[in-house]
Amino acid sequence: MKEKDKITYEQAIRRIEEITRKVESGELDIDSLADNLKEAKELINLCKTKLTKVETDIQKILDL
Amino acid sequence: MEQALSLYELNNLVHRVIELNMGDEYWIHAEISELRVNRHCYLEFAQKNADGNGLTAKARGQIWASSWPMIKLFFEKTTGQALSVGMEVLVKVQVTFHELYGYSLNVIDIDPTYTLGDITRKRKEIIDQLRAEGVENMNKELQLPRLLQRIAIISAAGAAGYGDFCNQLTNNRRGLVFSPKLFPATMQGNDVERTVIAALNKIAQEADNWDAVVIIRGGGATTDLSGFDTLALAENVAQFPLPVITGIGHERDDTIIDMISHTRVKTPTAAAEFIIRHQEEELDHVEDLADRLSKATGNILTTEKTRLQMAATRLPSLYANFKLREEARLERTLTHISHAIEQQIRDEGGKTDILERRLALYAQTLISRNSNRLEVLENKIKNADPERILQMGFTLTRSNGKVVKDASKLKPGDRIDTTFINGTLTSIVQ
């Protein structure tokens, strides 16, 4: 999960888009579906958090 | 010698001549070469040479305090700029001459659209210059980051516009988070160019910390915005590494930096709304993706379940078909094999007949060949029969039972048996 913490918003949203496309086009087999959905859910939460919650690094800049 | 006039008398004469002959009002166009406001507005008008160097005409002028506020308001409202040095103006004047202060033009009206044309021309020159430098669209071509949160604001500290902007951002409908920070600058008058460029430089030094720059100006209805129409500021904004959003706020026309900034809105509130909407769209996009994922997954699961059910339903009949088919196949194979065996037997039977005939022939040959040989042997045997030899008169001599073939081997006194055809005689060797 360390890697996930460093992923940028742009990277995250692109990955979600890619997974959505794969799921919609039926490209994913049922075995890898669960893993991909889990990843997408984590990334969606990450994106929502970035849009709606103050992140510590932003707060630091403001406190300067 | 005629009576000499006093200076006043002469000036008074000029005064009267002018008043008498030039009582009309005149529209003139000229450049403002000096300007000073001290209750009244004192000006100097100039006309340059055709080549732009040196002057061909010059005159002092003034707008009296009684009409100055009205003229100022009218001019600024229309042009978005304050009367200033270097500006081409079209003014209605009365020619006056004062015995003490001399010749001057009393401005009673102004046509701001003339200056507007001049401003437009100057702006066009700046835009042409930016185009020639290849930077005209540079800021527009930057892509707004999807995450538009860290906003560097260039505005006047404490200005109403800045407050409106921050309030709007903070109290957005969907709990979006923004991190605005003010980089103060003067937003009107002569210091605009210098202070805004200084603020931009400060932001550029920490460009990684910001997603976009917002230049906003709020408050007073009419202000001098000419500071936003300079080449140096335009070059800075055009080539700024972050997207610049402008909300300078002028109802009539855009300033140069409005034209070359990434996004241009009318007011600080509109700038905040633009940023909020951008983030709302992003949030919508994320939520839409989540929705689509959930729907698509539901569809996949439904399809898979249906597949499974269909398989379960069809399995028995499929198996029955399979069984029938396999049985038929087995039957066919068996028939095939038995036919093949029969055929083989027939083929093999033919072969045996041939062999049998060949064997008989061979046996016959063998028998006849051997019976010939037998006859020869029989003859040979017949010829070698001792009885036949004895009959011919030969005898057979034996000593001690052994056939004597060599007479020298016998000594006198030895007993020998001589066999004839019809009997044996014993005799003693002498």
* Segment A5-42, tens digit of pLDDT: 578 999 999 999 999 999 888 888 888 888 999 999 99
* DSSP H or E run through B28: strand B25-38
CA-nearest of B282, B247, B266 to B174 is B282
pLDDT at A2: 45
Q: Do B147 and A51 touch (CB under 8 A)?
A: yes
Work out the minimum CA distance from B290 to partner chain A, whole angstroms. Answer: 7
CA distances from B248 to B116, B134, B258, B268, B344 (A): 18, 25, 8, 7, 106
Q: Is the pLDDT of residue B111 over 60?
A: yes
User: What mean pLDDT do residues B272-288 have?
Assistant: 95
Residue B265 · residue B246 · CB < 8 Å = yes
pLDDT at A1: 44
User: What mean pLDDT do residues B362-380 have?
Assistant: 84
Domain ranges for chain B, please list them. 7-110, 131-282, 388-428
User: What mean pLDDT do residues B305-319 have?
Assistant: 83
User: What mean pLDDT do residues A57-64 have?
Assistant: 60
Work out the minimum CA distance from A21 to partner chain B, whole angstroms. Answer: 9
CATH number of B7-110, picked from 2.40.50.140, 3.40.50.300, 1.10.10.10, 3.40.50.720: 2.40.50.140
- Residue in chain B lying closest to A61 (CA): B209
Q: Is the pLDDT of residue A64 over 80?
A: no
CB-nearest partner of A26 from B147, B292, B300: B300
Per the structure block, which two tokens stand in for B99? 């015995």
Domain ranges for chain A, please list them. 2-63
pLDDT at B250: 63
pLDDT at B311: 82
CB-nearest partner of B286 from A26, A44, A53: A44
pLDDT at B36: 94
- Residue in chain A lying closest to B291 (CA): A20
User: What mean pLDDT do residues B274-282 have?
Assistant: 95
Q: Is the pLDDT of residue A3 over 60?
A: no
Task: Show which residues on chain A lie within 8 Å of chain B, measured between beta carbons.
Answer: 9-10, 13, 16-17, 19-20, 23-24, 26, 28, 30, 33, 37, 40-41, 44, 47-48, 50-54, 58-59, 61-62
Q: Is the pLDDT of residue A62 over 90?
A: no
pLDDT at B220: 54
What is the C-alpha to C-alpha distance for residues B71 and B115, in angstroms, rounded to an integer? 13
The bridge status of strand B179-184 relative to strand B150-155 is parallel
CATH class (in words) of the domain with range B131-282: alpha beta
Whole-angstrom Cα Rg for chain A: 14
Q: Is the pLDDT of residue B219 over 60?
A: no
User: What mean pLDDT do residues B337-351 have?
Assistant: 83
Beta carbons within 8 Å of B162's beta carbon, 6+ residues apart: B153, B155, B156, B182, B216, B218, B268
Residue B392 or residue B16, greater confidence:
B16
Residue B91 or residue B222, greater confidence:
B91
Interface A-B, measured as beta-carbon pairs within 8 A, has a size of 73
pLDDT at B137: 94
Q: Do B300 and A52 touch (CB under 8 A)?
A: no
Tens digit of each residue's pLDDT (9 = 90 or more) over B28-62: 999 999 999 999 999 999 998 887 778 899 999 99
Q: Is the pLDDT of residue B288 over 60?
A: yes
Q: Do B297 and A37 touch (CB under 8 A)?
A: yes
